[in-house]
Structure 1
């Protein structure tokens, strides 16, 4: 049994592979300090805490979760839903949305898991190795969790959605496959894919003969005449290699930081070898810091990655909050998304002028224009130089805008995505 799991097993949830409903959890006695027991459970909580606009609502949500106010939780790809009992007799429907991983992300995850028997064993024991979670954006980052609730409170998040988030962390403590389902793949689907890959890898290792390397006689290599052509260079590998594991030691640097640096160096070297171009060379130090933080799954969540945020921000005379906002913009649209966050400009006549009539026709008449932005007290659309609209949200009256949703050429589509329609 994983040492991170809480004592006291519950009955197995009723589920099919793409929809699981977990029974209501018992109240938690005492919620001081870290709410969850596992590092991935606390990473889930901190993804919402890092961008929450009201700590008081978070505290009430934490108390609701610890007091057993959250009913059974239903998990499907991209959604976590439960009814939460508040001060009124009728419970509210709370929901947490997050992006599902694409097929390429799952391919990287499954290949990395199948390559190491200890990773497969850890998953079967309901444990998630740090190195495996770092292969893709498995853990949510700041701004990746989108709360919603049927209550009249427009806080971000309200106490009911916060309670669901905290309770979901306890759920992930017991069964990390619930996190995989939130990201788009069911437990049986993942285990079946791992079994197939493991069998194929074992068969290949036992039957494949080592490749025959080109050779040249030593005498022919040193004589001047007749000239003998050297063998062609070996082909470049398909991808950068995996960095070596760095064991933890009290006097050694942080192993996760070393692994991050080694992975970055391998990726840049492979890109330069295959294309002759360094993909990082044109970035400013600020852009490179944002890229590093955005590429590190769960950045800013665990103790080690919070240190990464702190150190990167301090090196450039920025705050961790500045970096978290910039990372959210980078994940929303890459360098173009970061430009939309930082650049205010006057767009020419055309798509920007047609946006307000389109919003009025879709029953969204209250957007005020300013430069390349259309705003209401809590929603904002920003027009980028790339011709795309980018969604932003803020608590009403705070002017604390955070990137949300997926960019689109249609402002109505971006707004519908923000509102969950």
Structure 2
């Protein structure tokens, strides 16, 4: 399991080739440092250092980006660029704005900085501050800091979550929080009334008095193909719903052809809704997935938050994982008697038992009826437990994956 602390530290052994920033936010990052430098020669020298590979591995944590930069001396210099991290109140305001803006959500999922966040997350005047252990005591930035700035811009080009990490939050925790907030927004939306399209029962449309001979069966394809494009006919069924049905039907057909088993045999309405939702790991962040989550939740009498949580559990391991989420039970004492000392020996702390659950702070393990341990996590002082990773027969492995 990746903890919030782990999620807030990233090290890049290699940086994308090139020096010139490609994205608009990468160029804005470079401009924040260049605009504060009166010495064009230092900047040019720093650009050359970056081009020649003088910048070693880059480490990013909230508020700073650090690397060792090799100059003219044998010993490299520790070079740092600092940027103020956001306070919790600033993060709450920013996340709420993003969750309410489908365009901003879509941009983040495409690994782009939304234009609506530009003024909030990009460095403002004087915010990006360089530090270096070199003996250059002139007005910063020195050539080593400039070299780090140019290399960091290439990281931001390909992964804007590096910029958000500098502001204080890791990618995984951001997406989880956005998923929860987006589910809350979807729950507050009032769905439109279902359209009443004319038609006839499928049984009547397909009924024949004499059936033609069946064609020779084709070989099963290697993978499921893409559904066809549907015309924009205002009187036709919802093209998004058709796309989802076609994609799911094709996947089910391929499973029947290759294994002879129906993947939805024996599922309840709720189980099938969770299965469909689990195929969209964005948990309702995009407009299309949000509509699907809302419709499935309405059809099953659940909330979109319930559905998002259940879909996350289903991705852990299907029906057994969903049972671990929804069905507390009383296991025999043996698994707990072995698990608690093992967790303590692995320096994971003391876990409190309650039925099939072991809890320590904001971490939890749930023992499924399949004898696997399922990891969960909640925010501190909050009983809002969410699945976090793959299960394992070993509790320590499940907790640390």
* TM superposition score category, shorter chain reference: 0.5 to 0.7
Deviation at 1:304, TM superposition (A): 2.3
Structure-2 change in CA distance of 1:256 and 1:6 (3 Å) = farther
Match of 1:290 among 274, 292, 299: 274
- Which of these residues, 167, 171, 185, is aligned with residue 96 of structure 1? 171
Cα pair distance change 1:268/1:306, threshold 3 Å:
same
Residue of structure 2 in register with 1:388 after alignment:
372
- Deviations 1:336-375 (Å, cap 9, x if unpaired)? 2111101111112323211111112122333111111111
Q: 277, 295, 314: which one pairs with 2:261?
A: 277
Instruction: Name the counterpart of 2:10.
Output: none
Structure 2 counterparts to residues 75-224 of structure 1, below 5 A: 80-81=161-162, 94-97=169-172
| Aligned CA distance change for structure 1 residues 40 and 401 (closer, same or farther; 3 Å) | same
Return 5+ residue gaps in structure 1 as ranges. Answer: 46-60, 87-91, 99-139, 146-155, 158-229
- Partners of 1:143 and 1:404 within 8 A in 2: no
In structure 2, the partner of 1:65 is 121
SS in 1 for 2:389: strand
Q: Residue 409 of structure 1: CA displacement? A: 2.0
CA distance in 1, matches of 2:222, 2:377: 41
Rounded Cα–Cα distance in structure 2 between residues aligned with 1:254 and 1:332: 31
Name stretches of at least 5 consecutive residues in structure 2 with no aligned partner.
1-21, 31-49, 66-80, 85-92, 112-116, 130-151, 182-213
Paired with 1:301 and 1:83, the residues of 2 have a C-alpha distance of: 18
Indicate which of 225, 229, 242 corresponds to 1:245: 229
- Using the TM superposition, give the Cα deviation of residue 240 of structure 1 relative to its aligned residue in structure 2, in angstroms: 3.9
Which of residues 383, 390, 393 in structure 2 aligns to 1:406? 390
Measure the CA separation in 2 of the matches of 1:393 and 1:315.
28
Rounded Cα–Cα distance in structure 2 between residues aligned with 1:413 and 1:95: 23
CA distance in 2, matches of 1:36, 1:66: 20
Which of 319, 322, 325 in structure 2 is aligned with 1:338?
322
User: Structure 1 CA distance, aligned partners of 2:245 and 2:162?
Assistant: 38
Residue 12 of structure 2 corresponds to which residue in structure 1? Answer: none
Rounded to whole Å, the distance in 1 between the matches of 2:122 and 2:352 is 42
> Structure 2 CA distance, aligned partners of 1:322 and 1:246?
31
Aligned Cα root-mean-square deviation (Å): 4.7
Q: Distance between the aligned counterparts of 2:175 and 2:256, measured in 1?
A: 29
**2: CA distance between counterparts of 1:242 and 1:35?**
28
**Contact 2:102–2:286 under 8 Å retained in 1:** no
- Summarize the Cα distance change of 1:79–1:392 in structure 2 as closer, same or farther, 3 Å threshold: farther
Which has the higher Rg, Structure 1 or Structure 2? Answer: 2
CA–CA distance in structure 1, aligned partners of residues 26 and 388 of structure 2: 37
Structure 1 position 391, deviation (Å): 1.0
Match for residue 56 of structure 1? none
What is aligned with 2:284? 300
- Give the equivalent residue in structure 2 for 1:354: 338
Contact 2:350 2:360 in 1 (8 A): yes
How far did 1:277 drift? 2.9
SS in 2 for 1:408: coil
Which residue of structure 1 aligns with residue 354 of structure 2? 370
